[in-house]
Amino acid sequence: MTLLRWSFLFLALSSTLFHLSAQTYYRGERTSVTQPSTTQDVLALRLSAEGFFRNDEYASDLVADYTLPGYRLQVDLGYSPRTELPIELRLGLYHQYYWGASRYPAALAYQDLPYWRGDGRDYTRLRVLPFFRASIQPVRGLAILLGHLEGGAKHELIAPLYNPELNLTADPETGLQIRYEGKHTQLDTWVDWQSFIFKGDTHPEAFVFGLHARQAFPLSSRSQLELQLQALAHHRGGVLNERADTVHTWLNSALGLAYEHHFLLREHPLTLRSAVYGALYSQRGEHYPLDKGWGIYAETSLRYRRWRTELGYWYGSDFVSVLGTPFVQSLGRAGRIAVHSHHPRYLSWSASYSIIEREHYTLGLSGGVWVHPHSTHSNSSYIEAYLSISPYFGLIKR
């Protein structure tokens, strides 16, 4: 039996045994810094251990398939003094390791990561980075973060703009972030500074600016419309850059309208959500063979207790997404050498579920399939297991 058939059988059996959940199970137990604190600790120790195993069976002309086994580990000490405005300082270490390899493909923007970061061949064999976060909440629901950000799945971007696999492969985002969570309005904007240069450095600086703004319009006690604006701008270059042909800017944006309705099923809410987005791509610097493009993305999902299943459809025209999934790209495995397809398109189905989701740990499974007729091999699939354990130890009370 092929791996794809085993994947479908595994998902079908699991759906009868477990509660399914959304793909946001990545650190699903972590609450946002914008939410009120439930502790009264001045000094606390946090650990975050994430183990994962993901197998990608991809169409070879679009992207190489591979297996991704590894873990991420973070330990930090948090200091939260009693102040008029809530503030917190966290210091620690972050470590990432992949079993059997030194680096993996993550997205178009990361494939030449050693080149633009200056890491050379030493990238991720033993990845240990300092962890720092300073945060303040000027008003309720608003938080300003400096240092390590609430990134990855916390941004809640659509897959054509942000590949969910980056939750396992990309370094933590660092820089400046402003988050606001109101009753009907949510705003997340950030700058992820990935590479800094001094005079004489041979690699360019690089950073990503991101925006996700949402405004809900309640229709009833159980349904609402939602307007969304999402954008990612990726820049490489810098005033001190001394290499030719290394100043580039790429922009991906999406404007969407979503409808959400909550049904009551056996005393638990069943959530139906449908959304459609118009997406745009543009570049400055002639790095890729395409300067402008557009796309349409539609998705429908069902969420019940801890399970979720989703159908998605994508159609693009000369579209390049720097951090998006490989199947939305007009480029293929050859990269920027040539255009693979002027009209990438796919139909996708995925299901994910949290077997356990508690205050300090999450165990999740997910799998999915893409049907993309613009490829020689029209099917791709993945299956994944993920376990996050985040113990918290209060050391000194207020």
Q: Is the pLDDT of residue 171 over 70?
A: yes
Q: Residue 110 pLDDT > 80, yes or no?
A: no
Work out the average pLDDT over 94-112. 67
User: What mean pLDDT do residues 74-91 have?
Assistant: 93
- Can you give the pLDDT at residue 3? 43
Report the pLDDT value the prediction gives residue 125, as an integer from 0 to 100.
Answer: 58
Q: How far out from the chain centre does Cα 392 lie?
A: 24
CB distance 258 to 273 below 8 Å: yes
Q: Any idea what the Cα angle at residue 60 is, between residues 58 and 66, rounded to 5°?
A: 50
Q: Does 124 have pLDDT greater than 60?
A: no
- In order of 15, 107, 209, 213, the CA distances from 180 in angstroms are 35, 28, 17, 9
- pLDDT at 278 (0 to 100): 98
> Given pLDDT bands bounded at 50, 70 and 90, which one contains residue 305?
confident
Helices (H), the chain: 3-17, 113-117, 166-169
pLDDT in tens, 16-54: 333 333 446 777 667 788 877 777 889 999 999 999 999
pLDDT of residue 168: 86
Cα–Cα distance, 157 to 260 (Å, whole number): 17
Which one is predicted more confidently, 7 or 249? 249
- Over range 188-192, report the average pLDDT: 97
